Amino acid sequence: MIRFGAHSSLWAGGWSREDAEVSVREAARWGLEVVEIALLEPDKIDVAHSRALFSRYGVAPTASLVLPIECEATRHPEAATAFLIGALEVAHALGSNTLSGVPYATLGSLTRSPPTEAEYEAIARALKPVARRAADYGMTIGIEPCNRYETHLVNTAAQARALIERIDEPALMIHLDTYHCNIEEKSFAAALAAGAGRVRYVHLSESDRGAPGSGNVDWRGLMIALKAADFSGDLVIESFVNMMPSLAGALSVWRPVARDVEEVLSIGVPLMKSLARATGLAIH
């Protein structure tokens, strides 16, 4: 059964106790089953408090991250492994079934050259023990291809699949994002085909990261492609209305992407759910 959710950056720039209370409460108010937590500072999260919120509101957590610069995997693979294992422990304690996003890179850190064999080998060395630990917990590690302006390492579903095959651990999956696909892929159907059944998580993000349905992403085409691919993972709205300044710089978010949270969700939630139902996807 597909779960609909939203990234916590809609409501807050972090995951303090106050941020968590707003995010989980509002997700429940909008009829969402999932809140994706940005685990950029995993050691600062009050796990017990968050678990109590998820239980009270009937909302499930997922977790995502990018690597901090001091743990950049191609240059500091051992530091990347240590950071990711720590984040995975927190994600597991929160009750998340996945740790996804960009565990292979620091966004905005570009070499101005194509990726090298040595870089991919370092990433594989960093992620292999993390994937094994995730398997012990019954969790997945997601690889999210990002556009060429944020990273040179993994831009397409085909590259994500190649990296997963290199690491060769069953707990790895592909996490697609419609914003990045709109830049890098020929179509959503082609991206799903290139993922070869490994796509289990999708960010629903408009072409300008604003309210879904207000830009030029082909949402109907996406839902049709997901149905054809027998997708049964999570569909999570991602729109950076509120975000950490450091992440805003890495993503080049220099102006508001939407008027407010209400605009994103009042347009996005009913549109995504109606298209999913019309396409025959299995949703609540």
Q: Would you please indicate which residues are annotated as catalytic (active-site) residues?
A: 144, 238
CB atoms within 10 A of CB 146: 24
CA distance 199 to 87: 22
CA distance 177 to 279: 19
DSSP letter string, 32-73: -SEEEEE-SSGGG--HHHHHHHHHHHT-EEEEEEE--GGG-T
Residue from 133, 58, 137 nearest 96 by CA = 137
Helix axes 188-195, 219-228, angle to 10 degrees: 30
DSSP letter string, 166-216: HHT-TTEEEEEEHHHHHHH-S-HHHHHHHHTT-EEEEEE--TTSSSTTSSS
Q: In which residue are the tokens 């209400």 written?
A: 262
CA distance 158 to 176: 11
